[in-house]
Structure 1
Amino acid sequence: MITNLTDEEQLKLKVIESLLQKKIKTKQVGKILHLSTRQVRRLKNKVKRDGMVAVIHGLKSRISNNHIDFSIKNKVIETIKQKYTDFKPTFATEKLVENKNILISHETVRGWMIEAGLWKTHKQKQVAYRSWRPRKEHYGEMQQFDGSYHLWFENRYKDGTGESIEVCLLASIDDATSKITHMSFEENEGVIAVFHFWKTYVLALGKPLIIYLDKFSTYKINHKSAVDNKDLITQFERALRSLDIQLINAHSAQAKGRIERLFGTLQDRLVKEMRLAGVNNPKDGNKFLKEIFIPKFNRQFTVVPKSEGNVHQALNSNEEKRLNLIFSIHDKRKINNDFTIQFKNNYYQLEEIQPTTVRPKETVTIETWLDTTVHIIFKDFELHYFLIKERPKKMKLNPVILTNHSLNYVPPFNHPWRKMGRLVIEERRLKADISTLR
């Protein structure tokens, strides 16, 4: 058997040789090779004249008319080796067009990278079956939100010991359009960072109808930079309830697939984009995200929603005024008998004059704003206080309540109360004098 022929070519040669030896008829050859009688005769004559070459396709071993010049191929491979060695084929192709003006298909680049040992094909893993959830119909209807710890700045951002720092990237993606609506590098995914994120979001875009997030266990539980988030959902739910935003908790990473896939893409593309741009720290990273990466990403990957329109709701005037207290951490504390409040190793002394009546043992709300200022709230009133270094050991006799006026208040001489008192005394004296005259 001739080894340099394909199976189809070997079959043709064998059948035509049988025809030439009159072991088989023309009609039978036509059925076997799916050729007409005329085509069989022509092939028979070519084999008789040229031999084995007759069954080989005429374009075999010839360079295609669409062949890319070898110099371009070598240039592409060399560029990828120097600058894009860890890039995936599709991303490398985009960078070749963007930076070198070399326009070729990503499949061609993939083939060249495989030949050069720059890319290995991966077997698809068998995954568990999960039903598909359709996208929301409108932009702004639902935002998927999550955070991801990663060496976003590779080895260019280090701590004092020289160890590379993993930073948390918070991101939200619109469910209907796959548009990145906001991203921010933070130290962790704690309450303060999340509140900063969503305060910035609603001021810029308005209120989404739904926020879809997990319970913060999948990406923080084993990370050294993670903070205690046992009350994050409670604080976040309270803040979103004040803004009439629905919060939905996902119970698995797969449930919020769009944001999970986004982080997979970002850990590939964003890391390399920042490397090429020389971005080396979170501050410059946030500027790069806002001004360059997010607009570019959205132009490339955003899809058209089923229905037109933006359903983000604008903040009303009352919400705008209360935004600082909405996105603040709320804690409950009781008032001591000496009208002090202990909170996070600090003592706060309530002043004697307050906007409403305050009694010991009553519960107040301590609001810690994002600017770290502390506000003490009771019955929608903000109480007046001053910070003391430690709780006084000897306490003076204090009033049993605090009110909007001083309990030891002494009115001045010309006060109406005192005038009335003097008039009553004078009247009594006059009556006494008249009675003695009778």
Structure 2
Amino acid sequence: MTELIKMSQKELSRYVIIKKCLDGQLDAPSAAKMVGVTSRQVRRMKSKVREFGVKGLIHGNRGRPSNRSMPIEIIGQAKYYLNKYYSDFKPTFASEKLLENHKIQLSSEKVRQMMAELNLWQIKPKKTNGEHRQWRPRKESFGEMEQFDGSYHRWFEYRGESCCLLASIDDATGKIVRAEFTDSESVVNVFKFWLGYINESGKPVGIYLDRYSTYANTHHKPTRHQNYQEDAEYLTQFQRAMGQLGINLITAHSPQAKGRAERLFSTLQDRLIKEMRLKGIDNVNEANEYLAKEFIPKFNQRFSVPALKKDNLHQKLTEQEQSQLSSIFSVHYQRQINNDFTVRFKNSWYQIVKDQPTLVYKKDKVQIEEHLNGEIKLSIKGHYLNCKVLPERPTPQRFRITELVNEVRAKNPCVPNANHPWRNTDWIFNKQYKNKDIKQKQMVEYLKLNQVKADISTLEKVGHF
């Protein structure tokens, strides 16, 4: 009965050379050069072939289980946990959770193979090379540039409402400097985020962000010669605040341009969601607390890299900036002062009182600051105005003409006499009296009765004069 022996091409070529050496066609040094081993190793191969034949060149550990292989019991436990808890985890993250929660240490490659066997992971084919792309080098120092963005997602899955995660990642180190859950990517929420950032870490040199309407005005394209002061009317609230603090803003024209922030949200949508699921977190307050105390320190320890330079380019606020910080991070509006020195803002009326730190005129433009704590302040020429909120606008009294006439008549009654011309001459000029002679006689009789001297020029010539 013939036996099938599996050999590699390398082992088969070695057997041919050793066979020639045994037949005397080659000496040991020549065979060693052809095989790529020493002469001593060739002598060992010759003795193996004499004793076992072709099998002598096959490695003895072939087909045997590895001494480093994991016990079958541990493999079974790992598969059970993968199926029950980590079915939608990626292999690297799943291997970390197996070690952290179940004390099972497996490599990410081994976990990937196990998940592929359990149909929990699909091994993707290797991508062919497409268009050549070159990475932008990282900034050299921490705080030189922060990549900032917001991501709307169901961060609590179906345990809670969807919300927005604001996050800032340092370009030089890849550290998450600050992350916070909010209900939206509005101006107020972004202001609160960066107010907390600057109070904790200081001012970064620059911020790299997208062209969302909160951050940039996409309807106006300033020329390259325009600066912050010349183009102030077109700035968004965020651009105006960062300009006052001296922080440079760089707007990206594609998601790939700020790829570090996009990649961060891709990682967080995988890892952070599953971490909060394991912790049972289902609201924004608990999530923000977990982010600051546990997740961000662990994430930075795992994924951050050292910067090329050790210096920190974050700058502390000056005393003047610190005193104006609440004004800088407030939403600014502009209104005009009315003739009665009132200003209307969001259906409320503000009365400017008489005593003011500067001259105030009617029709002046006043700046209204809506602070993050809800406080409303009015300022002009760098001075805050003294004002008070009116319960409602005083409405002027308006009367109809008929009502006004009746009121005047009631105060000054003027009733004509019975023989007043208004009472007696109305009928004279009626159109039904078309006969001129009759009208002329009636006029003369009226004048005689009232002893009024007639104006001869107005009388027509009738008869002899």
Report if TM-score (shorter chain) is over 0.5. yes
**Does structure 1 residue 146 correspond to structure 2 residue 146?**
no
**Does structure 1 residue 338 correspond to structure 2 residue 334?**
no
**Does structure 1 residue 205 correspond to structure 2 residue 201?**
yes
Cα distance in structure 1, aligned partners of 2:204 and 2:175: 13
Amino acid at match of 2:212: F
Choose 186-195 or 124-133, whichever is displaced more.
Answer: 124-133
Cα distance in structure 2, aligned partners of 1:322 and 1:314: 14
Return the index of the structure with the highest Cα Rg.
2
Cα distance in structure 1, aligned partners of 2:299 and 2:118: 29
- 3-state SS of the aligned residue for 2:70? coil
**Does structure 1 residue 180 correspond to structure 2 residue 176?**
yes
| Structure 1 stretches of at least 4 aligned residues deviating more than 6 Å after TM superposition | 14-32
Amino acid at match of 1:247: L
> Which of 8, 11, 14 is the equivalent residue of 2:10?
8
- 3-state SS of the aligned residue for 1:95? helix
Amino acid at match of 1:154: E
> Which of 340, 353, 366 is the equivalent residue of 1:364?
366
Amino acid at match of 2:378: I
- 3-state SS of the aligned residue for 1:177? coil
Cα distance in structure 2, aligned partners of 1:29 and 1:115: 45
> Which of 234, 237, 246 is the equivalent residue of 1:235?
237
- 3-state SS of the aligned residue for 1:148? strand
User: Compared with structure 1, are the counterparts of its residues 12 and 187 closer, same or farther at alpha carbon in structure 2 (3 Å cutoff)?
Assistant: same
- 3-state SS of the aligned residue for 2:273? helix
Q: Is the 8 A contact 1:338 1:395 kept in 2?
A: no
Cα distance in structure 1, aligned partners of 2:234 and 2:326: 17
Partner of 2:349: 347
Cα distance in structure 2, aligned partners of 1:232 and 1:266: 35
Query: How much has 1:128 moved relative to structure 2?
Result: 4.2
User: Compared with structure 1, are the counterparts of its residues 40 and 309 closer, same or farther at alpha carbon in structure 2 (3 Å cutoff)?
Assistant: closer
Query: How much has 1:140 moved relative to structure 2?
Result: 1.8
Q: Is the 8 A contact 1:341 1:349 kept in 2?
A: yes
Amino acid at match of 2:172: A
**Does structure 1 residue 131 correspond to structure 2 residue 172?**
no
Cα distance in structure 2, aligned partners of 1:218 and 1:187: 15
- 3-state SS of the aligned residue for 2:236? helix
Partner of 1:170: 166
TM-score, length of structure 2 as denominator length: 0.73
Q: Is the 8 A contact 2:214 2:236 kept in 1?
A: no
> Which of 256, 264, 287 is the equivalent residue of 1:285?
287
Q: Is the 8 A contact 1:325 1:367 kept in 2?
A: yes
Partner of 1:108: 110
Partner of 1:373: 375
User: Compared with structure 1, are the counterparts of its residues 71 and 232 closer, same or farther at alpha carbon in structure 2 (3 Å cutoff)?
Assistant: farther
Amino acid at match of 2:361: R
After superposition, the C-alpha distances for 1:345-389 in whole angstroms (9 at most, x for unaligned) are: 333333333332222222111111111221111111222333346
Cα distance in structure 1, aligned partners of 2:43 and 2:140: 63
After superposition, the C-alpha distances for 1:28-61 in whole angstroms (9 at most, x for unaligned) are: 9777655677766764664464344233221100
**CA-atom RMSD in angstroms:** 3.2
TM-score, length of structure 1 as denominator length: 0.77
Query: How much has 1:77 moved relative to structure 2?
Result: 1.4
- 3-state SS of the aligned residue for 1:248? strand
Cα distance in structure 1, aligned partners of 2:181 and 2:369: 25
Query: How much has 1:172 moved relative to structure 2?
Result: 0.6
Q: How many residues align?
A: 379
Cα distance in structure 2, aligned partners of 1:288 and 1:127: 41
User: Compared with structure 1, are the counterparts of its residues 217 and 27 closer, same or farther at alpha carbon in structure 2 (3 Å cutoff)?
Assistant: farther
Gaps of 5+ in 1: 158-164, 220-230, 397-438
Amino acid at match of 1:152: W
> Which of 259, 269, 272 is the equivalent residue of 2:271?
269
The 5-angstrom pairing of residues 34-433 of structure 1 reads 34=36, 43=45, 46-47=48-49, 49-123=51-125, 125=127, 128-157=131-160, 165-216=161-212, 234-388=236-390, 391-394=393-396
User: Compared with structure 1, are the counterparts of its residues 15 and 115 closer, same or farther at alpha carbon in structure 2 (3 Å cutoff)?
Assistant: farther
Choose 70-79 or 24-33, whichever is displaced more.
Answer: 24-33
